[in-house]
Amino acid sequence: MELIPAIDVIQGRCVRLSQGDYAREKVYHEHPLEVAKAFEDAGLRRVHVVDLDGAKARHIVNWKVLEQLSAGTSLTIDFGGGLKSDDDLRIAFECGASMVTGGSIAVHEPEVFCRWLQTYGSDRIILGSDVREGKIAVDGWQEETDLELLPYLKDYMQKGVRMTVCTDISVDGMLQGPSVALYRDILQALPDLFLIASGGVSSLSDLEALAQAGLPAVIFGKALYEGRIKLSEISRLLC
């Protein structure tokens, strides 16, 4: 299972939210580049960067942070948050993203998202499928839709999606464990989907549970920042 640490950015700083609530923000580091370098030194090879300002503003905001991470590390960067236009996408790739995750754009403007898939390929365009109580949520998790998760994923797989980051908002940032049952259901229904779990990881045992459930990759952040999982432990796992 691929281990992908997360860096969430507000006003250029490394933060985490609880259940996607911007009023429950905690700053962990003033300099995301230093955080990314620590991840790289631990042997991690990829990072998931979320522009939380961008998600709220509905356009890319923290592109300078992306540029710094790309120039200062050799990490593969998956970038998301606020990518709503061709220009946003161009800026993200020009600033060093290897892949981008699009969530809200896939709901609001599916024709644009599908064009991105056709232009850049399913290895560079990842579907963000953030879910609350079985329904897709968008715009920095501020808006819920009537879209049911599994039919939504099936439809986009038919349109060429190969990878999705699926975050259960109810557990994100809560350090109470990931939604393993939800991910098992998705894998059973859609075995060809490269499913990246996100949200709720609190310990090494949570990572082990996801691996045993067959998840090909997992994104986690707060457990690292809170010291629940040590980078030294991650280094041993990667050996």
- What's the CA gap between 28 and 32, in Å, rounded? 9
CA nearest neighbour of 205 among 238, 171, 169, 180: 180
Tokens of residue 174, six digits? 């809560």
- What's the CA gap between 85 and 93, in Å, rounded? 13
- What's the CA gap between 100 and 15, in Å, rounded? 20
Tokens of residue 173, six digits? 């940032």
Other CB atoms within 10 A of residue 160 CB: 14
Indicate which residue of 8, 78, 88, 168 is catalytic.
8
Active site residue 130: yes
Active site residue 123: no
Indicate which residue of 51, 53, 88, 130 is catalytic.
130
Q: Which residues are catalytic?
A: 8, 130
